[in-house]
A and B are shown apart, each in its own frame.
Chain A
Amino acid sequence: MSKEEVLVVGGGVVGAAIAFGAARAGAPVVLLDEGDIAHRASRGNFGLVWMQSKGSGFPRYARWCRDAVDFWPRLAQELQELAGVDVHLQQPGGFWIGFSDAEMQARAAMLEELKDIGPGIPYEMLDRAELKRRLPAIGPTVAGGSFCPLDGHVNPLKLLHALHAALKALGVRVHAGVEVARVSRRQDGGYAAESRDGRSWHAPRLVLAAGLGNKTLAAQVGLHAPVEPNRGQVLITERLEPFLHHPTNKARQTNEGTVQLGYSIEDVGFDDGTTVSAIEWIARRALATFPVLSEARLVRAWGALRVMTPDGSPIYQESPACPGAYVATSHSGVSLAGTHAYVLGPWMAGLAPAPDDIEAFAGDRYLDPGRSFSHAH
Chain B
Amino acid sequence: MHIESVSRRPALFAAQARADASIVTLRFEDQPIRVPAGISVAAALLLHAAAPFRTTPVGAAPRAPYCMMGVCFECLVEIDGRPNRQACLTPVRDGMVIRRQHGASSLPLSRQEEEHGR
Q: Quick check: is A284 within 8 A (CB to CB) of the other chain?
A: no
Interface bracket on B: 10 to 19
When the two chains form their complex, are residues A241 and B105 in contact, meaning their CB atoms are under 8 A apart? Answer: yes
Q: Quick check: is B15 within 8 A (CB to CB) of the other chain?
A: no
* Interfacial chain A residues near B58, Cβ < 8 Å: 239
Q: Quick check: is A200 within 8 A (CB to CB) of the other chain?
A: no
Query: In whole Å, how far is A134's beta carbon from the nearest beta carbon of chain B?
Result: 14
Query: In whole Å, how far is A26's beta carbon from the nearest beta carbon of chain B?
Result: 41
* Interfacial chain A residues near B108, Cβ < 8 Å: 292
Nearest CB to that of B105 among chain A residues? A240
Residue from A136, A295, A297 whose CB has the most chain B CB atoms within 10 Å: A295
Partner-contacting stretch, out of B3-11, B59-67, B109-117: B109-117
Residue from A240, A293, A296 whose CB has the most chain B CB atoms within 10 Å: A240
When the two chains form their complex, are residues B57 and A291 in contact, meaning their CB atoms are under 8 A apart? Answer: no
When the two chains form their complex, are residues B107 and A238 in contact, meaning their CB atoms are under 8 A apart? Answer: no
Q: For the complex, what is the distance from the CA of A257 to the CA of B104, rounded to whole Å?
A: 8
Query: In whole Å, how far is B107's beta carbon from the nearest beta carbon of chain A?
Result: 5
Q: For the complex, what is the distance from the CA of A25 to the CA of B84, rounded to whole Å?
A: 50
* Interfacial chain B residues near A136, Cβ < 8 Å: 109
Q: Which of A140, A257, A291, A295 contacts B83 (CB 8 A)?
A: A295
When the two chains form their complex, are residues B107 and A239 in contact, meaning their CB atoms are under 8 A apart? Answer: no
Q: For the complex, what is the distance from the CA of A239 to the CA of B112, rounded to whole Å?
A: 19
* Interfacial chain A residues near B83, Cβ < 8 Å: 295
When the two chains form their complex, are residues A140 and B116 in contact, meaning their CB atoms are under 8 A apart? Answer: yes
Q: Quick check: is B34 within 8 A (CB to CB) of the other chain?
A: no
Q: For the complex, what is the distance from the CA of A293 to the CA of B84, rounded to whole Å?
A: 13
Can you give 11 A-B contacts (C-beta < 8 A)?
A: A136-B109, A137-B107, A137-B112, A238-B84, A238-B105, A239-B58, A243-B107, A257-B104, A291-B115, A295-B83, A297-B84
Q: 4 smallest A-B Cβ distances: which pairs?
A: A241-B106, A239-B104, A239-B57, A292-B107
B contact set with A: CB distance below 8 Å: 57-58, 82-84, 103-109, 111-112, 115-116
A contact set with B: CB distance below 8 Å: 136-137, 139-140, 238-241, 243, 257, 291-297
